[in-house]
Amino acid sequence: MKFRDGMWLVAEGKRLEYAEEVYSINETEDGKKLTLLCPTMQIRSRGDTLNRPTLTVELEAAMDDVLSVQITHWHGALNKGPHFDLFPSGRPTVNANIQKTEKGTTLSAGNLSATVSSTPHTFDIRFHNKTNTHKLTSLQNRSVGLSYSPATSSPMQTSDMRNINHHILTQSTLSVGEQIYGLGERFGALNKVGQAISLWNADGGTSSEQAYKNIPFWMSNRGYGVFIDAPERVELEVGSERCCRVQTSVEGQRLKWYIIYGPSPKEILDKYTTLTGKPGKVPSWSFGLWLSTSFTTEYDDATVLSFLEGMRARSIPLEVFHYDCFWLRAFHWCDFIFSPAHFPDPASSISKLKASGLMNKVCVWINPYLGQASPVFKEAAEKGYLLKRKNGDIFQWDLWQSGMGIVDFTNPAAVEWYVGCLNKLFDIGVDSIKTDFGERIPSKDVVWFDSSLDPEKMHNYYAFIYNKVVYEALQKRFGKDEAVLFARAATAGTQRFPLQWGGDCESTFEAMAESLRGGLSLGMCGFSFWSVDIGGFEGTPDASIYKRWVQFGLLCSHSRLHGSNSYRVPWLVDNDDETEQGCSAVLRKFTQLKCRLMPYLYSTAMESIKHGLPVSVRAMAIEFPEDKTAWLCDQQFMLGESLLVAPVFDESGGVEFYLPAGKWTSFWNDEVVEGPKWVKETHKFDTLPLYVREGSILILGKEGEMRTTWDWTKDVEVKTFFPNEKSSFKLVDPDNKNLATITAVKEGDEWKVKGTDALA
């Protein structure tokens, strides 16, 4: 939202008041908090203290290297929930102190400091490292304010605020060359400078400014991040109202955000996910290939069996079979009952499929909505489990499902009932849940069961509680570390309930690139696990697009073949081309490659969740923060810290990608390329640029490996790539037990590998 008309004028219909000076500073005895009283006029006489607003700025040490900043206008305004679940693993201790000098008052938390200038009649807060050698950002003149819309001409008008919108805004400075990343799964330019962004979950596909996963967190290439502690709609002007500032605004009487000092991206994400929660652990089987029925296709038991037998006949290892929406009866979504006409005995058929080894696990689609044609709608309505309008009616509309209602997860009884429905699915053999939707949650004319909650805040936050309910139900049934979702909607903290996938993309190269940018942005918000619809969701991919999606998708942390109105089994895409460049051969090669990479991939995943790092589609800048070019790369990614992947986005097979400094070894032929440099290559469908970083140690399974979970100490190959004193790899098993720590040690002029005694 823009509040000004250029530099000099206020936007039409708005009244702006800015904090013009710091009038007084109060500090707490424990040295952890400063409270600043900031009038909206420079106070030069006693009369200036009358008939004008003040803004209160509170600076508080939250944990080492993290400070909170809260701006409040009227303190008497209710601060309704929901509130983000912060420090879910406990709040760390903080080393905080306050120092006063002639230049100002400084609050420090660990290595992060905020200095409030002592210059009279100024508003100036600078954020920097403790030694003041690394300046991060600042709040300067006209950077903290409030707005009335429509514009008021007299304070008397604010006696009735029912038709006046009130916003709080901050503008933190952008330095020369500063770049901003994150803010959820955004599909446009990776660097957000120049963009206006509204953090409001929407079912808008992957090719617009809308996003399914709006995360109020961004990261700067200057060594800090900002988490906006606001579940409601947050509007950002990232260098797009004032080119040298990031403007953040919310409707209400207060705005709170946290500034997090790294200085490296890895350190920023580690501290951010300490604040909002570390990603959950996922089972090793979930890394294998998932196959879906697709959305609106016609399928039944026979179709499913034919797909599974077709995959086995082509030696394509399959881990999970997913039943999408139409496992349910039409107009009965989502009542948790298999369509009897298509699946007369689902428990028996699922049991037989598992026993046959055609697949190991089953996933089904659900959403948190109930169509009124189903008997469960009546049951839920009568028991008060559905969201209501202000007049007492159940909230219903015909968007998506006819007359559908929305499950009210703020009602504990509704949660218990919903979990009971899930347990019936688990009883018949379902192992995982695709938690679709959860974005189109109304915020007007609704009342939640918990009436203390603000409907505006519930719009985005619904994704958190919806996925939490299902994830914890899976944990309770299958074990703490055996739960896995396939979720679409998210907000801050939802990384705790993995995994998320990218939503409804088109079957084009352009959409494939959009999806990658979305995954990169989400990964820079503390989400470790991410997937994408291989082949694209909307439309029918031709063989070229399908095979390039396969390459990309199988090198994501999780991999699922899924579409809308067409199947995604490979033999139906290219008329069962049996050559080495055919769809089946490409899918077989990259699925088996992922199985072969499992010792590296799973161990990398377990290390990543400790620090809130993306496993795959890891932005280059996370690994190479000192390389300015790495911050610009949005068509390639790191798979862990050792493997660089550059998907091919062109029918010709041509691809251009960037290799940072060091020696890079082609995974396919051991050819070595010295970086930093841009490289152009042309690839057939059985390869893509896949390079191993200098200093890496890889533990690989045998060629043609067909299993996702196996004994990662047997039949493995240990490969080193220009080892050095930092070369080390910790191999863990699915129980997160350390199996071996492999290191490189220099003996004379040669490097030797140590720690392989446990490997056979």
Unique residue bearing structure tokens 């492999």: 742
Of the residues 20, 60, 439, 533, only one is catalytic, namely 439
Establish whether 65 is a catalytic residue: no
Establish whether 504 is a catalytic residue: yes
Establish whether 749 is a catalytic residue: no
Task: Please provide the size of the chain in residues.
Answer: 760
Beta-bridge partners for 25: 36
Look at the alpha carbons of 716, 721, 722, 724 in this order and tell me if their dihedral is positive or negative.
Answer: negative
**Residue ranges with strand state E in 221-378:** 224-228, 234-238, 245-251, 254-261, 289-292, 320-323, 361-366, 369-370
Distance between CA atoms of 226 and 242, rounded to whole angstroms? 18
Look at the alpha carbons of 668, 669, 673, 678 in this order and tell me if their dihedral is positive or negative.
Answer: negative
Relative to beta strand 66-72, strand 254-261 is antiparallel
Look at the alpha carbons of 302, 304, 305, 309 in this order and tell me if their dihedral is positive or negative.
Answer: positive
- Answer yes or no: are the C-beta atoms of 754 and 708 closer than 8 Å: no
Both tokens of 27, joined, read 């500090």
Unique residue bearing structure tokens 């109304």: 442
Distance between CA atoms of 474 and 484, rounded to whole angstroms? 8
Distance between CA atoms of 268 and 223, rounded to whole angstroms? 8
Both tokens of 253, joined, read 């009487």
Both tokens of 40, joined, read 């909206």
Half-sphere exposure at residue 238, Cβ-oriented, CA atoms within 13 angstroms: 24
Q: Which three-class secondary structure state does DSSP give residue 530?
A: strand
Q: Which three-class secondary structure state does DSSP give residue 583?
A: helix
Both tokens of 719, joined, read 């490969």
Distance between CA atoms of 645 and 655, rounded to whole angstroms? 11
DSSP string, 593-657: HHHHHHHHHHHHHHHHHHHT--SSSB-HHHH-TT-TGGGG--S-EEETTTEEE----STT-EEEE
The DSSP letter of residue 284 is G
* Per-position b or e across 103-122, b if 16+ CB within 10 A of its CB: ebbbbbbbbbbbbbbeeeee
Of the residues 270, 436, 456, 574, only one is catalytic, namely 436
Beta-bridge partners for 6: none
- Give the chain's radius of gyration (CA, Å): 27
Of the residues 504, 514, 533, 694, only one is catalytic, namely 504
Q: Please give the backbone phi and psi of residue 656, each rounded to the nearest 5 degrees, phi first.
A: -120, 135
Distance between CA atoms of 2 and 240, rounded to whole angstroms? 9
Distance between CA atoms of 550 and 535, rounded to whole angstroms? 7
Residue 363 CA: distances (Å) to CA of 33, 253, 293, 325, 595: 49, 44, 11, 11, 20
Q: Which residues carry out catalysis?
A: 436, 439, 504
